[in-house]
Chains A and B, each alone.
Chain A
Amino acid sequence: MVDTKIPPGAADRTGSHTGKSPAPVKGSKRTWATAASGRTAALLVSPTLLVLTVVVLYPTLMALKESLYGTKGLDPQTGFISDTEPFVGLQNYADIFGDAGDRFWNAFWNTTFFTVTTVGLETLIGVAMALIMHRAFSGRALIRASILIPWAVPTAISGLLWRWIFNSDGIANALIGHQVLWTTEGFHAKVAVIIAEVWKTSPFIGLLVLAGLQVIPKEVYEAARLDGAGPLAQFWRITLPLVKPALLVAVLFRCLDALRMFDLPYLLIGAQKNSVETLSMLAQNEASNVRFGPAAAYAVLLFVYVFLIALGFVRLLGADLVGDVGGPARTKGKSRLRRGSIRNSAEVPTA
Chain B
Amino acid sequence: MTLFFQNKTNRIWCLAVAGLLIFNVWNIVSNTPMVPDQHWAQKIFYVHVPSAWVGFLSYLVVMIAGIMFFIKGDDKWDDVGLAAAEIGTLFMALVLITGPIWATPIWGKPWIWEPRLTTTLILFLIYIGYFMMRSFGGHIERIRRYAAAVGIIAFVDVPIIFVSVQFWVPEIQSHPQVEMAQQPSGILIPFLLSLGIFTILYILMMRYRIHVIRIKNMGVENV
Chains A and B form a bound pair: no
Binding site for B on A (CB under 8 A): none
